Structure 1
């Protein structure tokens, strides 16, 4: 029997062409609906009222969190014997609610799963020419991917079709990012080929 979570109940549904109009009751808990039903015996209604008066919603929420935490621990560990965790006191649980909003949801099942980084799905089509491409790029870093691919096709006819242009452009983007980091964060060290640092006199 749910004593605390209210919900709506569909009372009527009327169709007017393509439009459907639905009428719902006022929100109420299953306990409230059962107590208000004329078919419920007085003895049952009185017994439910005694149970409701003895319930503590804060303690119930604390117990739910404890059980969720134990289920999460059981799901992440091997099925070996573990001592039961001590129940959290009401005062400590209430104190944790004051800062719970900073961490978002309280449920252990809401913790995001860390996914492994996606690796390469197919062999690198430029693996054999990578050293040569890198040398060309370091010598003339302003060259575009199309220019380097054309030069590669001249060196190796039929080996590198035009469909590999996007792959080469991503490679150049990575290399340019490396050069930019070298320029920004290590100006006093060895500079990438093709770049010079000029100081004002």
Structure 2
């Protein structure tokens, strides 16, 4: 007989388990054709190579019908702060927030966010555990928008959060008004083969304007915003903030003064040859790792002055010859296993000597020794 039956009492269900099961599940096949306003939400961690400590995360909202994407930084993972940021993002959305679909992270599945959605009349759903395809729309934007413009560096602190917020203010306009993308319309399976049908490339603004469920007032308001935007100026602003973000993550200085933006004509001229330099985003530059220093005490530190003097007097001597002389001068202090260490030391000294000979300032040559160039 199982132990639980012997005890004669039921197992108590954990509160978080009951809360998670109270939120209905929505899969990727359940969307059909939703109206603009049903979004998927996810968090992108800017932890760099290590997830230890506190770091900034980006809250991403992606509309299912149009692909409209909004991003905002979260300085800490906290459910009350997430609700506050969600309220601010709702002010930037061109439509009312009708539904919110999240993963099973505890920063989403909690009483605070559930009560927030119920008070705002927002349909709150979740995906299946460990099924990222249930949130395919927002997962695609995590890579195509957030990772592409922010990169994989570690960002922490208030200053990095301010720079990310400034970056997303320009990026949201560039992505939603000027960056077209495909959208999956239908998917049919023929045995093991899946046949997918995509719509023509369009921006989220174009999809929202073409949707018959969009009010005319919203359509006219978006057209006014679109007419006042300059994509080259937006791209320049994005590059400027990316440069400051990369400098903040790589060097961690005390303060970062705002860098004056270069003129539009100069920035536009630089785009003509940008393909020659490869990746132009400053956040895509590889991290420069510091050279690893010595981890053990230098075994030749006391004999270095003598070795240097002997090397400068007779630079042709090999490492074994210098080690033999060192053993004669200091019996029992320097064993034969230090030969490789001494050879590496001589290699660096010879490299310094060769550079001094090649790149030393040229001395004035005596008369009659001028070098002539043949005509």
* TM-score category of the 2 structures, normalised to the smaller one: 0.5 to 0.7
Query: Superposition pairs for residues 38-53 of structure 1, below 5 Å?
Result: 38-53=212-227
What's the CA shift for 1:197? 30
Equivalents in 2 of 1:82, 1:55: separation in Å? 28
Counterpart of 1:149 in structure 2 is 323
What's the CA shift for 1:69? 0.6
TM-score, structure 2 as length reference:
0.34
Contact 1:149 1:165 (8 Å CA) reproduced: yes
What's the CA shift for 1:113? 3.4
Identify if the C-alpha distance between structure 1 residues 137 and 27 changes in structure 2 by more than 3 Å, giving closer, same or farther: same
Deviations 1:180-201 (A, max 9, x none): 9999999999999999999999
Contact 2:245 2:283 (8 Å CA) reproduced: no
Equivalents in 1 of 2:300, 2:251: separation in Å? 44
Is the partner of 2:354 in helix, strand or coil? helix
Equivalents in 2 of 1:49, 1:10: separation in Å? 25
What's the CA shift for 1:77? 2.5
- Which shows bigger deviation, 188-197 or 171-180? 188-197
Contact 1:138 1:193 (8 Å CA) reproduced: no
Identify if the C-alpha distance between structure 1 residues 154 and 200 changes in structure 2 by more than 3 Å, giving closer, same or farther: farther
Contact 1:12 1:23 (8 Å CA) reproduced: yes
Contact 2:185 2:198 (8 Å CA) reproduced: yes
Gaps of at least 5 residues in structure 1 are none
Equivalents in 2 of 1:51, 1:148: separation in Å? 77
Contact 1:183 1:191 (8 Å CA) reproduced: no
Is the partner of 1:3 in helix, strand or coil? helix
- Which shows bigger deviation, 66-75 or 130-139? 130-139
Deviations 1:76-129 (A, max 9, x none): 223412321112211221222233222111111222334578999999999999
Gaps of at least 5 residues in structure 2 are 1-174
Contact 1:182 1:192 (8 Å CA) reproduced: no
Identify if the C-alpha distance between structure 1 residues 136 and 19 changes in structure 2 by more than 3 Å, giving closer, same or farther: farther
Considering Cα pairs closer than 8 Å and 6+ residues apart, tell me whether 1 or 2 has the greater RCO.
2
Number of corresponding residues: 201
Contact 1:138 1:192 (8 Å CA) reproduced: no
Is the partner of 1:117 in helix, strand or coil? coil
Equivalents in 1 of 2:213, 2:320: separation in Å? 81
Equivalents in 2 of 1:82, 1:137: separation in Å? 47
What's the CA shift for 1:52? 0.7
Identify if the C-alpha distance between structure 1 residues 57 and 140 changes in structure 2 by more than 3 Å, giving closer, same or farther: closer
Give the root-mean-square deviation of aligned CA atoms.
7.5
Contact 1:138 1:194 (8 Å CA) reproduced: no
- Which shows bigger deviation, 88-97 or 4-13? 88-97
Equivalents in 2 of 1:131, 1:196: separation in Å? 40
TM-score, structure 1 as length reference:
0.56
